[in-house]
Amino acid sequence: MPANKAHKMGEISIKINIADRIYPLRITTEEEEIIRRAAKLINDRMKEFQENYAVRDKQDLLSMCVLHYATATLKAEDASKNEDKDVAKKVNQLDELLANFFSG
């Protein structure tokens, strides 16, 4: 089989509709569900922005979606970092307690 015809195992071609445009993608089968869910989230959010803000321009709607999801991602990253810090602090406290218990 020629190199340009070879496909990785588990790779599929799908078409995703975002903002009334079709995007052909080559993805792994494991990615399909998450990609389809992401496209649905984007289209649903665009519809919500269109209804709530009377915005009709697709570029504006897509920009608002990007801002919304980028902000949500950054907030989630910050929350995760804070949780990691809290867990590390509690582990250190527990370590101190155990060290004191076994040394005393």
Q: Who's near 41: CB < 8 A, 6+ residues apart?
A: 69
Spatial distance between the Cα atoms of 81 and 83, rounded to a whole number of angstroms = 5
Q: Give tens-digit pLDDT for 70-99.
A: 999 999 999 988 888 888 888 888 888 888
More confident residue, 39 or 4: 39
Taking the complete model, does pTM exceed 0.75, yes or no? no
What are the two backbone dihedrals, phi and then psi, of residue 34, each rounded to the nearest 5 degrees?
-65, -35
Average pLDDT of the residues in 7-12: 78
- Residue ranges of domains in the chain: 3-103
Condensed to tens digits (0 to 9), the pLDDT of residues 50-77 reads: 999 988 999 999 999 999 999 999 999 9
